[in-house]
Structure 1
Amino acid sequence: MTTLAHVEQPQLCHQTGDGLPVPFSVAGTGLHLPPTVITNAMLAEVLDTSDEWITTRTGIRERRRLAPELATSDMALAAARPALSAAGVEASVIDVVIVASYTGDMPFPSTALIVKDALGAHRALPLDFSQAACASGVQALLTAAHLLQNRSIRTVLLVAADCASRITHPQDRTAGVFFGDAAAAAVLTRTDTPGAGLLSYDLGSQLTYDVQVRAGGSRMPTSPATLAEGAHYVEMDGRAVWETATTRIPECIEASVRRAGLTVDSVDHFFLHQANLNILREATTALGIDPSKAPVTLDRLGNTGAAGMFTALHHTVSAGRLKPGDTFVMSAIGAGFQWGALCLRQA
């Protein structure tokens, strides 16, 4: 077993960057939630836990579970279609399809390629972002912003979808209560509005094995022994997640906002990784953010991985509250650890 204790503590990798000159905008969003709802009371029947314990420590009251005959790409498609409809965009004009997910359908072929083909987005470049786990959406969005600087690329479909129930041990009373299955999508299009798009970003990483899936890769291929051990399920050190998230999320948000020439209190919206309500509260309190600016979806969806911050974005967009000229931050942290924040302006 590879753990943090077996590796030399690495140095923090950090990068802060300016915005990009070619403006773009969120043209539409979409959301898909599997119909099966798993409440805390249902989990308490099969795990050594209680509704009070889960709610107090996580803020989560229920989460969704994907039907066993379906896969991540099915959720991604179900989120992508309403996003395209909301944007008024036909699949045939999409230039890039990006899927951010640590639970892709299979090692290959590409989940983004599966989504692209099912949509009929035949001219699109398919790209997958996976191994930053819950932070894959941050890296995918930063990449989409850079791709849109190319004058041959005008439309990017970004879908974040995770099916964590497939990699969570059924008897794990810690990880088992946190995660939910969901997908959320955003259509990004170039615009003529000056000043819109990416204003700045701040990224960081530091290698640890505090959150990991040990088996299934080249270091520990799946075998009868790894299956018996349950090494293909997620393992998580909750204390390490808390300490890293409550430190790094406020740091990267503050740095990205400052780089954009803004102040935290002048930003209109914060779409944050929906990991744990206590982590969200700690981060927003540290930054002095008005709670109404940081929508919460985890109470009814759980930690939906890379999809989390996009579920919060969809919540605001679908309510008509993301207005032209609004500034917003999208931020998440994932296994590794990897984290980041992007500061953007809506056209």
Structure 2
Amino acid sequence: MTMVYATDQPRSLSVRPPVPLPITVSGSSIHLPDTVVTNADLTRTLDTSADWIVARTGIRERRRLAPELAVSDMCIAAAPAALAEAGISARDLDAVIVATYTYDQPLPSTALMVKDRLGAGRALPIDITQAACANGLQAILLAAHLLQVSAQAILVIAADCASRVTDPLNRTTGVFFGDAAGAVVLTRTETTGAGLLAWDFGSQLSHDVEIRAGGSRLPTSAQTVAEREHYLRMDGRAVWAAATTRLPESIRAAAYRAGLDVTEIDHFFLHQANLNILTAAMTELEVPMQRAPVTLDTLGNTGSAGVLTALHQARTEDRLMPGDTYVLSAIGAGFQWGTLCFRQG
């Protein structure tokens, strides 16, 4: 269902705007764990300083999930407000899609756990797991196509508890990540011209961000635990190069397919990984930074949830007006990336 569009074509007046997929975000919410971890807290165990963290990442604090809780608990906490705003009962959902790379356990399905606890009896449970920070976008694209076929209402929850897979002794990864969940309810819309205008997805295999152990290639053993192979590894320079290249390319491609110039897009809800990456991407696009809400300063990199935290912030602050256009864009380990372009109803 995903498509990759060429990014080197100039915008042409002969390109006709496509007929939108008539879907809309009818409700949204986020859940943030209670525990706040500041940069000063991290300096007690990591060889770094609060000023260094802010300069390199733009992050000042992040949230940590309580040790007795799991990702499904964050999903359950996030869902009710989104459902209430949409006026949808869990019993009426056709699918529950959970986007996370930090699922509760390999089996059974985290989406099934969430569906069961919500009482969404007839919903199809679907897990999107291995696109990392791009999981949420793949989940929304899948939901959009299900709504085109037969579904009426779908709950998408993007949630990650990266603190469980981050090495507390590693400065490179230890300062970035926070725990959070974001939920959206997607339904059909009858507003003419509104909906999902276009999308762009791509991938290029890379092991520059990975968790090596725990799968069939390197099963869990005493040795893999001792060698800390179950923690996330990340090459920061490779991430910077990929993100600052692929995000602008993908946004331009999606805008082109929507018949828009990038400068015409009203809102940019981007992967909340690093403030310097966001700034570089917006600079490359020649779009004012004010159009890209930032949540990472107080939440950190919340993985799959990051894009939805930015979207929800804009919705709660009434920034999205009827007729506004916006993009959701993210890149995750793999590397996998993508952009969705919407017009608000």
Q: Scaled by the length of structure 2, what TM-score is found?
A: 0.95
DSSP-derived class of the 2:219 partner: coil
Q: Structure 2 matches for 1:6-45, cutoff 5 A?
A: 15-16=4-5, 21-45=20-44
Q: Structure 2 matches for 1:231-250, cutoff 5 A?
A: 231-250=229-248
Greater displacement, 226-235 / 15-24 = 15-24
Q: CA deviation at 1:100?
A: 0.5
Q: CA deviation at 1:170?
A: 1.1
Q: CA deviation at 1:327?
A: 1.0
Corresponding residue number in structure 2 for 1:174? 172
Q: CA deviation at 1:193?
A: 1.3
Q: CA deviation at 1:14?
A: 7.1
Gaps of 5+ in 2: 7-16
Counterpart CA distance in 2 for 1:317 and 1:276 is 22
Q: Structure 2 matches for 1:79-228, cutoff 5 A?
A: 79-150=78-149, 152-228=150-226
1:19 to 1:222, Cα distance in 2 relative to 1, 3 A: farther
1:22 to 1:263, Cα distance in 2 relative to 1, 3 A: closer
Counterpart CA distance in 2 for 1:285 and 1:163 is 30
Counterpart CA distance in 1 for 2:283 and 2:294 is 14
Q: CA deviation at 1:83?
A: 0.7
Counterpart CA distance in 1 for 2:252 and 2:102 is 30
Counterpart CA distance in 2 for 1:68 and 1:28 is 29
Deviation sequence 1:99-129 (CA, Å, 0-9, x none)? 1000000101111111111111111111110
RMSD of aligned residue pairs (Cα, Å)? 1.4
Counterpart CA distance in 1 for 2:18 and 2:296 is 30
Residue type of the alignment partner of 1:166: R
Counterpart CA distance in 1 for 2:3 and 2:72 is 32
Corresponding residue number in structure 2 for 1:326? 324
Are the equivalent residues in 1 in contact too, given 2:22–2:196 (CA < 8 A)? yes
Corresponding residue number in structure 2 for 1:9? none
Deviation sequence 1:197-252 (CA, Å, 0-9, x none)? 11111111000100000000000000100000000000000000000100000000
DSSP-derived class of the 1:194 partner: coil
DSSP-derived class of the 1:149 partner: helix
DSSP-derived class of the 2:185 partner: strand
1:22 to 1:333, Cα distance in 2 relative to 1, 3 A: closer
Corresponding residue number in structure 2 for 1:57? 56
1:281 to 1:22, Cα distance in 2 relative to 1, 3 A: closer
Aligned length: 334
Q: Structure 2 matches for 1:222-301, cutoff 5 A?
A: 222-301=220-299
Counterpart CA distance in 2 for 1:225 and 1:14 is 41
Counterpart CA distance in 1 for 2:3 and 2:183 is 28
Deviation sequence 1:7-29 (CA, Å, 0-9, x none)? xxxxxx97139966541111010
Are the equivalent residues in 1 in contact too, given 2:20–2:198 (CA < 8 A)? no
Counterpart CA distance in 2 for 1:328 and 1:264 is 10
Q: Scaled by the length of structure 1, what TM-score is found?
A: 0.94
Q: CA deviation at 1:45?
A: 0.8
Counterpart CA distance in 2 for 1:164 and 1:19 is 38
Q: CA deviation at 1:328?
A: 0.7
Corresponding residue number in structure 2 for 1:46? 45
